[in-house]
Amino acid sequence: MRRTGVIFEELPKATIVSVSRPETGDISPILLSYTIELQYKQFKWRLLKRASQVLYLQFALRKRAIIEDFHDKQEQVKEWLQYLGIVDQTVMEQDDEEPDDGPVPLHHEDSVKNRYVPSVAALSIIRPSLGGQQSIADRAKVTMQGYLNHFLGNLDIVNSQEVCKFLEVSKLSFLQEYGPKLKEGYVMVNHLSNISQDSDVSCFPCNWFHCCDNNQKKVWAVLKPGFLAFLDDPFNNKPLDIIIFDILPSSNGETKIYLADPIKEHNPLRYTFKVSSGNRSILLRTTSSAKVKAWVTAINEASLRPLEGWCCPHRFGSFAPIRGLTEDGSQAQWFVDGQAAFEAIATSIQDAKSEIFITGWWLCPELYLRRPFHSFSTSQLDSLLEEKAKQGVQIYVLLYKEVSLALKINSLYSMRRLLKIHENVRVLRYPDHFAARVYLWSHHEKLVIIDYKICYIGGLDLCFGRYDTPEHEVGDCPSVIWPGKDYYNPRESEPNSWEDTMRDELDRKKYPRMPWHDVHCALWGPPCRDIARHFVQRWNHAKRTKAPNEHAIPLLMPHHHMVIPHYMGRSKEIDIDEKKDEDKRKEIDIQDSFFSESPMQDIPLLIPQEADGPVTSNGDHTNLSENSPLLSQKLGHETLVSDSHMKGFQDEVVPLNLGAQSVVDTLDDWWETPEGTNDDTTLEYGQVGPHTTCHCQVIRSVSQWSAGTSQPEESIHTAYCSLIEKAKHFIYIENQFFISGLAGDDIIQNRILEALYRRILQAHKEQKDFRVIIVMPLLPGFQGGLDDGGAATVRALTHWQYRTISKEQHSILHNLEAKLGPKTHDYISFYGLRSHGRLYENGPVATSQVYVHSKLMIIDDRVAFIGSSNINDRSLLGLRDSEIGVLIEDKEYVESLMNGKLWKAGKFSYSLRCSLWSEHLGLHTGEISKISDPVADTTYKDLWSATAKENTRIYHEVFACIPNDQIHSRAALRQSMVQWKEKLGHTTIDLGIAPDKLVCHENGEIKTIDPIERLKSVKGHLVSFPLEFMREEDLRPAVIESEFYVSPQVYH
């Protein structure tokens, strides 16, 4: 029969490990200390208890049994005390090691019979013994073991509050998803003034000296490897507060910075220590200096323990370690374009069992995740969330609160719409710009996390305009795929209101939609939980900063049995369906559960979950190298780069040589096919990638304003530069922006451009082939033509991009051409994407850029970065926009080629690149071999570059579309616009409408053809980036434009 409302479902085991005596000459057994090792299921922990504390426990248990019996209470207490030889004035003084529990509520439902308390077994430890010190210790050890066996042999006694406090356990102790059992106990805090507290509960010796502050409140502290949580008492599992451990500031000089430090008080009766993490610092008090020392030691050890070590920076300065070094379940899968990603997200939402976390720059509740929308009427995001919320799934949504004068994403409408769905949907918008003094920066991550089991990360927001297919169609009339405002072209118009979502914003017969190209990724295992930890950190920071006293939403924690990962040995995961029966048996009564009904008090603080790892807490950690061949031998491939920026810190998870060698440096001579290697013809190159095991590391850009960290983290920036530096053969980049600086640039601070510049010069010096291919939007995706009066933002962004690429002395092409001349373009080249089609049957032929929104880098077909971060200062410096991404290093390989030589390409990276290139080049099944070698001239020059040039030429013949290399000034742009408008009567903002008939010259004759016939020669979507466009113009905002008075940092 299931036991409800208890901590122990089965009996724990206790072993007396050692007995120690005081240094004084007194050898009384009452002064002995016992080291007790306890085990409950797979959890182990150790306690150090003095005999007086055991006696205090004995007294408390007997006292409760007597009170509950209500029979001859006075006589029994007196008789029991006399029998033990204890008088009131001798033993029951509370020493500095006894619990400071105060009165506890009684469990009247438990019978006296079930609470039988042994007494005879305890007598030997308090009565004087004769003999030498060793014989006394030996006898005390045997006697104490017998006593523990007595009261630990009764499940009712074990679950009493007295015993649970003595054993330092609570309802959070054995929830497997939060990691091993560490230190717990009562502490006093003064920042939780809303906690109800009995007036007669105070810490010793306040009753005599009144030394405590009236605001001090007693709470039960639970230490876990990743956080310190505070509960009302051990039997209350709702957190009053939580400190999430984060990277500590670098130590200054000889002063080392710790997570916890003792505080020297002026009042000698106050024993205080401080815990500082992120931008938070909390003072805690206990009842003795020994307890302060124990807490400080335990907290600092927990913060640095493997596998995570959350307080030390890991590779690239990231908060998260490298995952997948052991068989820990780290897996990844890529998705190209919105159709594939949204289908997967919808399926995962429908499969959710316990909780869903969502955050994004923009979220549209009415977004259809499946198309055609008429066939999937229930696939709207709000409908999917409503279905799960009604099933009890808890949904947490973090929205970026925009500056409404600058952006029209209307997060207030989204929040109100979401809150109407169900009470299980909770929404926070952040930041409050005035209070936080954050006006220029945004929350830019795009995350969906399901049950801590699967996470979706990348460039796709769940909003209008993002759904697209590999064909990147420009028209949809009548509406089938893109209903209402989802038919989206921000170059033409941004809707003033998003509320009437099914009403068209654009005239579908006149204007094309702007196709959207993006890359997304799914993660399983520890990296998923690392990203969930990031979400929780942001949620708690937003809650404390914006809504500390919000009463509309209760303070909640998730059901422990609903969380997917379970500690079953090292790094195993059990599907929730397989655990259903066991979960039902172990389910805690609803009145005590984390999602039980509670007063409407506050927005919930979410406790982050630990990634898989050992759950012992006795200081004995499993040696990773014993279980992993990867770590126990000299590696055939090493971790990517050294951490020169880490100032002595090392990733405790990775006992590797983090030297300058990279993955790609050591694999050149490793020609033996590893186990599991496939021929590349066995892989498929659609829009959904293979499910692969891999090394994963979560990296991010955050700071105090965005996540409450004590210092900025720019691990994405560091990783980018390090990966570029160590690349061996080629670098492939897709990004929404490309704004970076060379060394010495006083304006642009990120140094991705410098890393590329140096790597190309190195390749030229070594006379080695090396390719850098960058695919980006042809124009910024903001409203307005380049010459329009209200398009200063578009012009400013265009300026900063050309300043990086080809214009002025700061650009990479300018500097490379000065050293390499024409050979520059053998090393680096820039491209965009474009599509075309009829707006409706027999309607006009239109074109639009395919807006490249992906944030992707692939190195040597072995390493891939996918995330939310653009290549600009906003995304990379940490202090500005918040971003997150994942670095994926392949563990599975396929046979391929690199510059004409055999090459072991990573299954994830290689398949992703081939999928992207197949789409961009318009390749068909069976043509993958044409792009298997990305460096060879037959691929880079004869196929990739040649296709881009030919497509560009055809588009210019048909449309003369903007941007192009023939227009060097705003005057030339105006002239071209006037000519085409006079010729066509109507065109788009970027000259995207073709004439009815195209005049062409062939063999000296003038012919007219249907433009669609000429466009049949276009292959794929790849076009050349127009490097000469607007070369004569300074596109920065003019004095008469309002954008002139905005900080230039907004644009770069």
Q: How far apart are CA 610 and CA 578, in angstroms?
A: 21
Q: How far apart are CA 373 and CA 370, in angstroms?
A: 6
Q: How far apart are CA 337 and CA 919, in angstroms?
A: 11
Known catalytic membership, residue 444: yes
Q: How far apart are CA 485 and CA 561, in angstroms?
A: 41
Q: Which long-range contacts (CB under 8 A, 24 or more apart) does 590-596 make?
A: 591/5, 592/4, 592/5, 592/171, 592/235, 592/237, 593/237, 593/559, 594/237, 594/238, 594/556, 594/557, 594/558, 594/559, 594/560, 595/392, 595/394, 595/556, 595/557, 595/558, 595/559
Q: Measure Cα distances from 447 to 361, 534, 849 in Å.
A: 10, 10, 26
- Give me the catalytic one of 485, 559, 729, 853: 853
Known catalytic membership, residue 518: no
Known catalytic membership, residue 855: yes
Residues 804 and 813: beta-carbon distance below 8 Å: no
Q: How far is CA 20 from the centre of its chain?
A: 46
- Give me the catalytic one of 181, 388, 444, 695: 444
- Give me the catalytic one of 232, 337, 612, 860: 860
- Give me the catalytic one of 233, 451, 612, 680: 451
Q: Output the six-digit token pair for 329.
A: 């379940």
Q: How far apart are CA 408 and CA 427, in angstroms?
A: 19
Q: How far apart are CA 358 and CA 369, in angstroms?
A: 15
Q: How far apart are CA 422 and CA 387, in angstroms?
A: 9
Residues 341 and 380: beta-carbon distance below 8 Å: no
Q: How far apart are CA 585 and CA 621, in angstroms?
A: 31
Percent helix / strand / coil, the chain, rounded to 5:
30, 20, 50
Q: Measure Cα distances from 632 to 315, 325, 636, 652 in Å.
A: 20, 11, 12, 15
- Give me the catalytic one of 224, 388, 446, 485: 446
Q: Output the six-digit token pair for 464.
A: 């209008």
Q: How far apart are CA 748 and CA 737, in angstroms?
A: 13
Q: Is the dihedral of CA 902, 904, 905, 907 positive or negative?
A: positive
Strand partners, 400: 430
Residues 492 and 409: beta-carbon distance below 8 Å: no
H/E stretch holding 448: strand 447-450
Known catalytic membership, residue 853: yes
Count Cβ atoms within 10 A of the Cβ of residue 988 and give its class: 0-12 exposed, 13-18 middle, 19 or more buried: buried
Residue with token string 């004869």? 942
The CA angle 451-373-691, to the nearest 5 degrees, is 40
Cis before residue 777, ω within 30 degrees of 0? no
Residue type, 654: V
Among the listed residues 185, 137, 157, the one whose alpha carbon sits nearest the alpha carbon of residue 34: 137
Known catalytic membership, residue 860: yes
Q: CB under 8 Å to 1048, separation ≥6 — which residues? A: 747, 796, 1036
Q: Measure Cα distances from 997 to 78, 288, 846, 977 in Å.
A: 110, 91, 13, 19
- Give me the catalytic one of 165, 534, 836, 855: 855
Q: How far apart are CA 190 and CA 199, in angstroms?
A: 15
Known catalytic membership, residue 451: yes
> What Rg value do the Cα atoms of the chain yield, rounded?
33
Q: Output the six-digit token pair for 388.
A: 């799960």
Residue 524: how many other CB atoms lie within 10 Å: 21
Helices (H) and strands (E) in the chain, counts: 29, 34
Task: Provide the pairing of β-strand 893-898 with 678-679.
Answer: parallel
Catalytic site positions: 444, 446, 451, 853, 855, 860
